[in-house]
Amino acid sequence: MKKENFVALVLGTVSGLVFALGMCMCLLPEWNLFNVGVGFGIVGAIGLLATAIVYRKMSGKKPVKVNAKVVGKVLYGVFASLVLGTGMSMIMVLEGMMLWGILVGIVGIVLLLCLVPMCIGLKK
C-alpha cells in the first residue's frame, strides 16, 4: 500500500467516524447533544475535505478546478446524501414511517449510485 493511500485511509476513517458520531448526536433525542453533534459534524466534514486535499497533494495531482460541472456534481451529491439521510431518519426517528423511510432510502441509494457514471463516465 502506498503511503498516500494509507494516510487517506486513516484520515478518512477518523473523519468519517467523527462525522457519523455527530450525526448520531443530532438525530437521537435521547442523547440530548444536538449542539455538540453539530460541532462534531462540522469537524468531521472539514476532516473529510482535508483528507481529499492531502491525498491529492501527496499523490502529485493538481487541485480540482472549480467550475460549473464540479459545483453541479457536488450539489447533486449533497442532495442525494440528504435524500438517503431523510430515509434513514424516517426509519429511526419517526413513528410509523418504516415503509416510507425504506422507499426514500432506496431512492437516495439509487441517486448516489448515479454519481459513479456522472463523475467517472461510461466507457465502452
Domain boundaries, given as residue ranges, for the chain: 1-63, 66-124
The cell numbers describing 120, all together, are: 467517472
Q: Is the pTM higher than 0.85?
A: no
Helices (H), the chain: 3-27, 34-58, 68-92, 98-113, 115-119
Instruction: Give the torsion sign (CA, 84, 55, 4, 43).
Output: negative
Reported as a pLDDT band with limits 50, 70 and 90, residue 124 is confident
113 burial type by CB count under 10 A (0-12 exposed, 13-18 middle, 19+ buried): exposed
Q: What percent of the chain has pLDDT over 90?
A: 80
Look up residue 20 and give its amino acid.
A
Residues 38 and 18 sit within 8 Å (Cβ to Cβ): no
Per-residue pLDDT, 100 = 96
Taking only the tens place, the pLDDT of each residue in 20-36 is: 999 999 988 898 999 99
Per-residue pLDDT, 122 = 82
Q: What percent of the chain has pLDDT over 70?
A: 100
